[in-house]
Structure 1
Amino acid sequence: MSITPTEQPREAIDAAPAKTSELIDTVFRAESRRVLATLIRLLGDFDLAEEALQDAFRAALEQWPFAGVPASPRAWLVSTGRFKAIDALRRNARFEALGDLDEAGQRLAALSDATAPTDDQQLEDDRLRLIFTCCHPALSPDAQVALTLREVCGLTTEEIANAFLTPAPTLAQRIVRAKAKIRDARIPYQEPSPGDLPARLDSVLRVIYLVFNEGYSASSGAALTRHDLSGEAIRLGRLLRELLPEPEVEGLLALMLLHESRRAARTSPTGDLILLDDQDRSLWEREQIAEGVALVEHALSSRRFGPYALQAAIAAVLAEAPSTAATDWREIVGLYDVLLRVEPSPVVELNRSVAVAMRDGPAAGLTLIDAILARGELADYRLAHAARADLCRRLGRHDDARAAYLRALSLTSQAPERRFLERRLGELSG
C-alpha cells in the first residue's frame, strides 16, 4: 500500500476500528502538511520527507487502533516519520558503494542530531520556512508557485494545473525540476534574512492568494468553495503578517477576509451559486468585514500600498454597501483605474468593465468587454464570456447572450457554475 501526500490512505483507514479510523482521517486532513513541512526541515529532502510522511501514517494505521491515540498526534507523526527515514537510510547505506559511505554516514549523523519541534509555534514556523524555501529566487516564478501549492498546501497536480491553465504532465515536470534545483543548489530551509525578505515577498503573496482563490471558487468539482483551502490561506496570511507587517501583507489579508466574509451567502442550501445581487447580506460575517476594513485602511494610510491593498479597498466598498443599488460604483471604478496603473492586466480590465456597467449601464460595459475579447487575451477565460452573456441578456440581445453562455459553459468544470449557466440558458429559451 502506498500513501501519497495528497491522498488519504483510504483502504487501511476503512479496515481500522471506526472511531480511530475517523480520527486518523481527521488528523491526516488537518496535520499532514504541517508534518510534511517539519519533516522536510529535519530530513533536508522533499522526496525523503514524503516517504517518511507515508511511513508515519502507515504506522499510525497499524498502531493507534490497538495502542491508543498519542496525546500529541502531530508530534508523534513527526517523530515516527523521522525515525523511519533514518532507518531507511541506514538500510540503503549498506548497499552504497564504498566511496559513498562517508557521505551516507555524515547524512545519518546530521539527521540524528536534527531537533524535532516541541511546540505548535515551531511547527508553524516550519510552514513559513517551507513557503520561503519554495519561493527562493533561484526558482522560476511559476515553479515557485507550483511547488508551494503542491508541498505546502497539498493541492493535487491536477488542481494546480487547472489554476495555471497548464497540462498536468507539464506541471508535474515543473515540480520535479524545482525539487531537484533545491536539492542540487543546496537551497537552505530557513526564513530569509531581513534584507532578503522583501524581494521574496511577491512570490509568497502570490502563492497564498492562489491558494485562497482555489478555496473561494474551486476550479473544478462538485462544490463552489473549499473552506479548508481558503481558511488555510487566511491562516498563512496571519502568520506572514506577524513575520512581516508590510502594507501589502495587510492588504492581502484584508482582501481574503472581505471575500471570505460572504462565503455563507454565496451558495444555496443545495449548493447552487448565488450572485452578489441576490445574496442575503445578513449572512455576511460582520467581524471579518470589520477586521478587513481596518486592515485595508491601515495599509492605504501607509502610502506604500500595492495591488492587494487596492483590491481589498474595492472589496471593502462592496462589503460595506447595504445593497447592490446603493454601492458606490463610481468609487469602485476609480479604484480600478488606480489598480490598472499599478498592475495592468486583462482580468483587472474585465472587472473594471463590469463596474462600469453598474455605473453607466450594460451597453457601456459591453463595449469594453468586447474590446478585451477582441484582443484574444481572455478568449479561454470563462468569466469573461459569462460577464458578456449577462450584459447581453440585460440588453435583450438573447442570441448573443445564448452564444456567450454556451462558450462560458464549455470552459467551466465546476458543477455549481455549470448549473447556474444552464439555468440562465433555460431562462433565455423559456
Structure 2
Amino acid sequence: MGGEALEAAFREAGARIVAALAARFRDLDIAEEAFAEACSRAAKAWPASGTPDAPSAWLYRTSERAALDMVRRRKVRKTLIPEPPEPDATAEDLMSSDSAIIPEERLRLIFICCHPAVAPDSRAALTLRLVCGLEVAEIARVFLTNDVALQQRLVRAKRKIREAGVSFEVPGPEHWPERLSAVLSTLEVAYSKAHEDAAGSGRHAGFAAEMMALTALLASMMPDEAEVQALAAIIRFAEARRPARLAADGSMIPLSEQDPARWSADLIADARRYCGRALSIGSPAPRILNMMIHALWCGRKSLDDPPPWKAVLGAYDVLCDLQDNPIVTINRAVALAEVEGPEPALATIAKLEPERFANFLPFHALVADLLARTGNVAGAQAAFDRALALGPGEAERRYLAARRAALSGA
C-alpha cells in the first residue's frame, strides 16, 4: 500500500515539490536531490508505519529537512537561505493550495529555467524535466532527439544556471519578452502530454487543468502579448473537445468524427474571448495560426457540418511559410490528404527525414493511414505496428489496433 501511495504522490506533486524547494533554496541540484532522498525515505517508512494522512505534505517536509542537511554539509547555509520558517505550517499551506501558491511557484521556476543564459534549445527541455517532471525519454520524443543527447543538454543547462548565478525570482516585465518563447513552449508541451491521452487517465492527465490555470495567470500578467492570449485560447479549444474524444468501447474518436454537440460550450466561449484578444493585438504568428485552426474546428455545431479541411489546409500553408517545423508539416499532411488525397500527402512527408521520427507516434499513425488509403496493406500494417510499439494510451491503442485489424478483415 505504501508503494502505491508513494507513486501517486510522486505523480501528483513531485514536480511541484521540486519547484517549491528550488524557489526557496535557490539551487536546482539541491531541490532534486532532496526530493529523491525524501522518496527513498518514504519507500522505507510508509510500508512499515503506514501512509501519512497527507503524503504530499510529508514528502515536502522531509525534502525540506534533507535540503537543510545538504546546505549544512556544503557549509554555505548563510548564503543560500534566510531564517528557516516553521516547516510544518509552511508545508501544509504549500501543498493544500494548488490554485493560490503552487501555480505561482511553478510559473516562477519556469521563468527561471527559461533564463537567456541557458542555450535556447535547452530552456524548455530543462523546464519540462524539472518543473513538470517529464521523463527524459518523453522530452526527447517531443524534441525529436535521442535520450543521451537530451540528458547532456539538461546537464549543461543546469550547470549554466549555477555558473551564471541566475536569480530565483520572476524577472521584471522588461525581461519577460526574451524568455517568453521558451515559457510558452513549456506550457504548450506540458499540455500536449495531457491531450495526447484521450481517456484522460495517464500520469500527465493533471496537466490539462493546471496548464489552463497557468495560461490564465500568464495572460493576466501579459495582457498585450498576442501569443500568450493565443495559447490560452488553444488549450481551451482543445479541452472543450475532450468530452467527445472517447467512444463507448473506450477507443479514441478522431477530431473529424467527434460530435460537436458534446463539446463544452463554456470552454469554447472562454477560448473565443482569448482568441478575440489575440487577434486584436497581434499579426499572424505561429500560435495565432494554430489558434485559428482550433477555432475553425470548434466552429462546427453538429456532425452534419462538414469538417473544415480546406480552411485548415490554407491555415497550415501560411503556417509552413512562417515556421520550418517538421511537426507542422506532418499536421499539414493530414489536411492535405483530406483535400487532395493520400498520394500528395505521402509525397510531402517523404521529404522529411524518417529516422528523426522513429519514436514519434503520430508520424507512424499518419503513414499507416495514408498507406492504407492507397491500398498498400502490408506497408500500412507495418506502420501501425510501429505506432503500437511506442506504447500509446489505452484509448489510442484501441483505435490503432482496430484500424490495423480492419486491414486484414480480422
Shorter-chain TM-score: which interval?
A: 0.7 to 0.9
Q: Partners of 1:114 and 1:178 in 2: how far apart?
A: 29
Is the CA contact (8 Å cut-off) linking 1:405 and 1:421 kept in structure 2? no
Q: Which of 287, 303, 312 is 1:332 aligned to?
A: 312
**Residue pairs, 1:50-69, within 5 angstroms:** 50-56=32-38, 69=53
Residue 48 of structure 1 deviates from its aligned partner by 1.4
Q: Which residue is 1:323 aligned to?
A: 303
Q: Give the structure 2 partner of residue 233 of structure 1.
A: 211
Distance 2:330 2:81 in 1: 52
Contact 1:163-1:214 within 8 A present in 2 as well: no
Determine the C-alpha separation between the residues in 2 that align with 1:67 and 1:225. Answer: 21
Pairing of 1:376-415 with structure 2 (within 5 A): 376-378=352-354, 380=357, 382-394=361-373, 397-398=374-375, 400-412=376-388, 413-415=390-392
The amino acid of 1:244's aligned partner reads M
Instruction: Name 2:158's counterpart in structure 1.
Output: 179
Task: Detail structure 1 runs of 4+ shifted over 6 Å in the superposition.
Answer: 58-61, 63-68, 73-76, 114-119, 221-225
Counterparts of 2:59 and 2:346, CA distance in 1: 55
CA 1:388/1:53 → structure 2, altered by over 3 Å: closer, same or farther? Answer: closer
Match of 1:195 in 2: 174
Secondary structure of residue in 2 paired with 1:354: helix
TM-superposed deviation, 1:196: 1.4
- What is the distance in 1 between the residues matched to 2:292 and 2:51? 53
SS in 1 for 2:81: helix
Is 1:146 equivalent to 2:125 in the alignment? Answer: yes
- The count of residues paired between Structure 1 and Structure 2 equals 390
Match of 2:17 in 1: 35
SS in 2 for 1:178: helix
Moved more, 24-33 or 173-182: 24-33
Q: Deviations over 1:8-64 (max 9, x none)?
A: xx7xx24xxxxxx85x66554433322221211221222211233345566778599
Matched with 1:343 is 323
8 Å Cα contact 1:41/1:126 also seen in 2 = yes
User: What are the residue-to-residue correspondences of 1:44-123 with 2, within 5 Å?
Assistant: 44-56=26-38, 69=53, 78=60, 80-90=62-72, 92=73, 104=75, 106-108=76-78, 110-113=80-83, 120=97, 121-123=100-102
Q: 1:37, 1:230 → 2: CA distance?
A: 18
Q: Which runs of 5+ in 2 are unaligned?
A: none
1:354 matches 2:331 = no
- Contact persistence 2:364–2:387 (CA under 8 A): no
Do 2:368 and 2:383's aligned partners in 1 also have CA atoms closer than 8 Å? no
- Structure 1 pair 59/350, CA: closer, same or farther in 2 (3 Å)? closer
TM alignment of 1:151-162, pairs within 5 A: 151-162=130-141
Q: CA deviation at 1:144?
A: 1.5
Shift of 1:373: 2.6
Percent identity at matched positions? 33
Secondary structure of 1:187's match? coil
Rounded to whole Å, the distance in 2 between the matches of 1:31 and 1:84 is: 17
Q: Quote the Cα distance in structure 2 between the aligned partners of 1:291 and 1:65.
A: 47
Taking structure 1 as reference, are residues 406 and 320 closer, same or farther at Cα in structure 2, changes over 3 Å only? same
State how far apart, in whole Å, the 1-side matches of 2:217 and 2:326 are: 31
Structure 1 stretches lacking a partner, 5+ long: 1-9, 15-20, 94-103
1:255 match = 234
Counterpart CA distance in 1 for 2:139 and 2:371 is: 33
Return 134-143 or 118-127, whichever deviates more: 118-127
Partner in structure 2 of residue 283 of structure 1: 262
Q: Quote how far apart the aligned CAs of 1:68 are.
A: 7.0
Partner residue in 2 for 1:205: 184
DSSP-derived class of the 2:184 partner: helix
Amino acid at match of 2:250: G
Query: What is the CA–CA distance in structure 1 between the aligned matches of 2:200 and 2:23, rounded to whole Å?
Result: 35
TM-score, normalising length: structure 2 = 0.81
Question: Once the 2 structures are TM-superposed, how far is the Cα of residue 148 of structure 1 from its aligned partner?
Answer: 0.9
Cα offset, 1:278, TM superposition? 3.3
Code of the residue aligned with 2:146 in structure 1: it is P
CA positional deviation for 1:276: 2.5
- Structure of higher CA gyration radius: 1
Q: Which amino acid counterpart does residue 183 of structure 1 have in structure 2?
A: R
TM-score where L is the length of structure 1: 0.78
- The RMSD of aligned alpha carbons is 3.4
| Cα-to-partner distance string for 1:321-356 (whole Å, 9 max, x where unaligned) | 122752333332332233223223333233333324
Q: SS where residue 298 of structure 2 aligns?
A: helix
Query: Does residue 1:423 correspond to 2:402, yes or no?
Result: yes
The equivalent residue for 2:195 is 216
Residue in 1 that maps onto 2:246: 267
What CA deviation, in whole Å up to 9, does each residue of 1:245-290 have, x standing for no partner?
Answer: 2211111111112112222322335532222243343432222222
SS where residue 365 of structure 2 aligns? helix
Q: Distance in 2 between matches of 1:161 and 1:155?
A: 10
Q: Distance in 1 between matches of 2:52 and 2:335?
A: 57
- Answer with 126-135 or 59-68: which moved more: 59-68
From the superposition, tell whether residues 255 and 113 of structure 1 become closer, same or farther in structure 2 (CA, over 3 Å).
same
Tell me the residue number matched to 1:6.
none
Distance change in 2, residues 1:60/1:407 (3 Å): closer
Other structure's SS at 2:206 match: helix
Q: Which residue of 2 aligns with 1:3?
A: none
